[in-house]
Amino acid sequence: MLNYTIRRLLFTVPVLLFISFIVFLLLDLAPNDPTGNLPLTIPPDVREQIRRSLGLGEPIHVRYFLWCVQFFVNEPLNILEHWTGLQFGDGERLRVQSWATRSPVVDLVVERLPQTLWVVGMSYVVGILIAIPIGVISAYRQYSWFDQAGTFVSMVGFSVPTFFTGVLMIVVFSVHLEWFPSIYDTTHRVTDWESFLFQIRQLVMPVSVLALYNAAQISRFMRASMLDNLGQDYVRTARAKGLKEHIVLLVHVLRNSLIPVVTVIALGIPQIFGGAIITEQVFKVNGLGQLLIIGIQGADIPLVQTLTFIFAVLIVVFNLVADILYGILDPRIRYE
Amino acid sequence: MNNKQLLAALAGGAVIAIAGQTAAERGADGHVNIIYWQAASILNPYLSGGTKDIESSSLVIEPLARYDQDGNMVPWLTTEIPTVANGGVSEDLTSITWNIAPGVLWSDGTPLTAHDVAFTAEYCMHPEGGCQQSTSFSDVASVEAVDDLTVKVTFSKPKPFPYGPFVGGESPIIQKAQFQKCLGARAPECTEQNFGPIGTGPFRVTEFRANDVISMEANPNYRDPSKPSFATLTFKGGGDAAAAARSVLETGEFDYAWNLQIDPAILKQMEGAGKGTVVAAFGTAVERLMVNLTNPSPDLADMRSTVDGGPHPFLTDAAVRRALSLAIDRNLLSEVGYGSAGKATCNVLPAPAVYASTANDECLVQNIAKANQILDDAGWMPGSDGVREKDGVRLSILYQTSTNAVRQDTQALVKQWWSEIGVETELKNIDAAVFFGGDQSSPDTFQKFYADIEMYTNLFNGTDPEAYMNNWTCNEIPGPSSNWLGNNMPRYCNAEYDALAAELGQTADLAERARIAMAMNDMLVQEGAMIPLIHRGRVSAHSNTLGGVILNTWDSELWNVADWHRE
């Protein structure tokens, strides 16, 4: 297992380098321009000057190499300095700078992580907590009214886009009932009971919109996996031994059924960090998803490149985690 | 005023407010929320020309003079507007001298001096800085501080309108002490300065979150001790225009929402909730059709849409252009797409009022019959499929614009009207960042204009149209030799027009300038280089509890935020 993990980890290095190069190439080939969204009152020659000042005059391999140095050398050194308090060299290193904000991309990411983790992370947890019981009951009482209702809700969660459910919730709960704010306050700090309640109130709508979607997905996996196991011989054996029904279901069947579901959940974790582009826009959460979409619209190439690369790292890592988890949970699986 | 005095003033304000009198003390009205659906990226307009960045920074940093809601210049940090009459502008029009009002302090308590002004010019004019407002400083030879409160701008040639530098939201004064290490190539590295400039404006930054939200508080050293009325301010960004409108008009969470270009019917319905008011004002923006006078045929390969590629097969015929214009019902377009934010227009230069021509008003009323008649008379006869043709040339148009719901509605309507006069239209829309982007390798930019007609809005800042009208002189024609740079999209070239442009460049008298500019406008419209459609206004909304809002399209919308108060 350890050998396998090390081998896989070593293999990720060339994979990630290749991904970063492909992303860079794609962004460079895209017909987009960082001055494209500026007002037309800025004349073309000034735009040309702006493009040059952003380093767009250099050939692509030079720009890619520069990004690699900034991201793989300068940024880690900076973090090390920050953590250890030591200084390497003169401390004057060029970090990956966003074109639109002229500030280090990594700082932007760090600034936005809290709200993304709060909203998207919370929705993932809530989604899982809803999905597992629904999946278990739906499978156990297959084709009952509960199963039918669960199937219906999953279909709704799957097929109704978040930009619809989000706006619908705002119209109902913010405009008519005035229960929850329609705009998320990212500067809000939880300091006491009062502010904690406010934080809950502003989380309710974005979290439930996303949780509906997550729950829809996971509850289907859970149901299918339960159904697979319920028909197995060992279930009959357990019942024949005279075990109580809830022990058969919750100890024997559920544990075995969770194995594939856990890996599905692990594979979904990177998307928490990727943010929820649409939901974040609808509720003005302004997390990582919104940062990415603004970067794409404004052709902020260093920002988009860095963000997509971070997502790529997370996806590769969580794929590995899912594989290893599977091996640990299911003794039948062995990697050598 | 130091902090102690401020506290005293605040406490005083609270006492007065309790006593039930009108609060005229700084900070007495608490908190104000502003939402811009495009989030501010940076608070330095010299490094970002985006409107959101210019307007958010206008809360903090200010120019020497501003435009008011009628387009008149008002002294802001100076004692008066320099003119030839008061001796502030030299007789030969090559220099202008500004006198800074004494006693203006930066938010850190140090005085504003002429050295800060001179430094601002140095900052933007640095060749390696990539300054996005360098148009404001065009033809500036030098800016020098004569003494602490006098600054002299010298131009390299006579400038009949010398109010480019330091006037309006695009060129505010930044503090020398704060920015002196940020010149040229170092400008983008000064994140701390760019996110929290020290200014003379009514507010100062307490927290800046790029592309998200800015928190501000009243500037304790603001020159008017009773302003601003609000102690703190939140400037939130993100989402879309409809959501911003909803947060002011329906939920009342925000006090002011900027630039609400959404379906006028929806806006009206939201306003019906009774929490806020929609306000509109008109500047210089005109949605227009640009007519390609060169041949965009793909057969020409590299010569497509260039002067060398030869004239357009049918759009060079004045009758066709006039018929296309007459067939459009501009009032309906305005009603459908713009509501209170649009007016039908036949001019590319519709404002300020002194420049607005009335010579082209024929187009204000749609006249399909007349358009048909004109085409008949010119010999364009309907073929078997109903599309008019002459000498084997069919009136078939490729009509492109940027992707935007209102523009696609307009396209569909225009296509319908043109089909009624026997003109076939193919529609195309391109993502705005690509269409307006200058990517040389993309065939879809508005400069390359690989289509017959294209539609977009153009405008100019401030009130002087000289630079704007110069956009359509012969040497502004984009083409491969100029790397497709240039603003003359119709590829219009007329020696008479160029002569008028040159004359405008040497005339200082305002009435005379208006006459020339109007003549240029009439020439462009009557010769059909452009088909103006809609004079577009700016629509914003404010809460019914927010007083003092005066919507201004000539300068930052937040120009008078110091006067805003709670009602």
What is the structure's pLDDT at A90?
66
Say which residue the tokens 């012969």 belong to. B474
Distance from CA of B31 to the nearest CA of A (A): 14
| For residues A193-219, average pLDDT | 92
| For residues A31-58, average pLDDT | 79
Query: Is the distance from CB of B329 to CB of B371 less than 8 angstroms?
Result: no
At residue B351, φ and ψ (nearest 5 deg) are -160, 160
Secondary structure of B34-94 in HEC code, one letter for each residue: EEECCCCCCCCCCCCCCHHHHHHHCCCCCCCEEECCCCCEEECCECCCCCCCCCCECCCCC
C-alpha B468, offset from chain centre: 11
What is the structure's pLDDT at B351?
84
pLDDT in tens, A75-118: 888 888 878 777 776 666 778 888 888 889 999 999 998 888 88
Strongest mean pLDDT among A293-302, B138-147, B508-517: B138-147
Tell me, what's the ipTM? Answer: 0.85
Query: Is the distance from CB of A335 to CB of A323 less than 8 angstroms?
Result: yes
Contact yes or no for A183 and B254 at CB 8 A: yes
Contact yes or no for B211 and A286 at CB 8 A: yes
Contact yes or no for B42 and A102 at CB 8 A: yes
pLDDT in tens, B15-40: 434 333 344 788 899 999 999 998 89
Query: Sign of torsion, CA B248 B249 B251 B252?
Result: positive
Percent of chain B with pLDDT over 70: 96
Higher pLDDT, A30 or B478: B478
Chain B (184-223) residues lying within 8 Å, Cβ to Cβ, of chain A: 185, 187-191, 194-195, 207, 209-213, 215
pLDDT in tens, A125-163: 999 999 999 999 999 999 999 999 999 989 998 899 888
pLDDT bin (cut points 50, 70, 90) of residue B7 is: very low
What is the structure's pLDDT at A332?
81
- Judged on CB neighbours under 10 Å (0-12, 13-18, 19+), B454 is buried
Contact yes or no for A43 and B135 at CB 8 A: yes
Residue B167, beta-bridge partner list = B65
At residue B344, φ and ψ (nearest 5 deg) are -65, 140
Contact yes or no for A31 and B434 at CB 8 A: yes
Percent of chain A with pLDDT over 70: 98
What is the structure's pLDDT at B19?
38
Question: Does B237 score more than 50 pLDDT?
Answer: yes
Q: Which of B541, B458, B517, B558 is nearest to B168 (CA)?
A: B558
Q: Which of A42, A106, A119 is nearest to A76 (CA)?
A: A106
Q: How many CB pairs under 8 A join A and B?
A: 180
- Which amino acid, B263? D
Contact yes or no for B439 and A282 at CB 8 A: no
Higher pLDDT, B134 or A226: A226
Lowest mean pLDDT among B14-23, B286-295, B309-318: B14-23
What is the structure's pLDDT at A326?
84
Q: How far apart are CA B521 and CA A113, in angstroms?
A: 52
Nearest CB partner across the interface for B247, out of A54, A111, A183: A183
- Which amino acid, A96? V
Question: Does B449 score more than 90 pLDDT?
Answer: yes
Contact yes or no for B236 and A32 at CB 8 A: no
Query: Is the distance from CB of A329 to CB of A259 less than 8 angstroms?
Result: yes
Distance from CA of B462 to the nearest CA of A (A): 11
Contact yes or no for B212 and A181 at CB 8 A: no
pLDDT in tens, B154-176: 999 888 889 989 999 989 999 99
Query: Is the distance from CB of B320 to CB of B529 less than 8 angstroms?
Result: no
Average pLDDT, chain A: 88
C-alpha A154, offset from chain centre: 20
Q: Give the best residue of A29, A70, A102 to mutate against chain B (max B CB count within 10 A).
A: A102
Q: Give the best residue of B35, B212, B259 to mutate against chain A (max A CB count within 10 A).
A: B212
What is the structure's pLDDT at B219?
95
Nearest CB partner across the interface for B458, out of A40, A185, A294: A40
A-chain CB neighbours of B209 within 8 Å are 111, 186-187, 286
pLDDT bin (cut points 50, 70, 90) of residue B434 is: confident
Long-range Cβ contact pairs of A49-57 (< 8 A, separation 24 or more)? A49/B130, A49/B131, A49/B134, A50/B130, A50/B132, A51/B438, A52/B130, A53/B128, A53/B129, A53/B130, A53/B185, A53/B188, A54/A99, A54/B130
Closest residue in chain B to residue A180, using alpha carbons only: B251
Two tokens, residue B423: 């003109």
Dihedral Cα B451, B453, B455, B460, nearest 10 deg: 100
| For residues B373-378, average pLDDT | 94
Q: How many other C-beta atoms lie within 10 A of the C-beta of residue A317?
A: 15
Interface contact B237, partner A, CB < 8 A: yes
Query: Is the distance from CB of B227 to CB of B563 less than 8 angstroms?
Result: yes
What is the structure's pLDDT at A91?
62
Interface contact B361, partner A, CB < 8 A: no
Percent of chain B with pLDDT over 90: 62
Interface contact B288, partner A, CB < 8 A: no
B-chain CB neighbours of A40 within 8 Å are 436, 456-459
Q: Give the best residue of B132, B255, B463, B470 to mutate against chain A (max A CB count within 10 A).
A: B132
pLDDT in tens, A54-80: 888 788 888 899 889 888 888 888 888
Question: Does B93 score more than 80 pLDDT?
Answer: yes
Question: Does B123 score more than 90 pLDDT?
Answer: yes
- Which amino acid, B546? L
Distance from CA of B459 to the nearest CA of A (A): 7
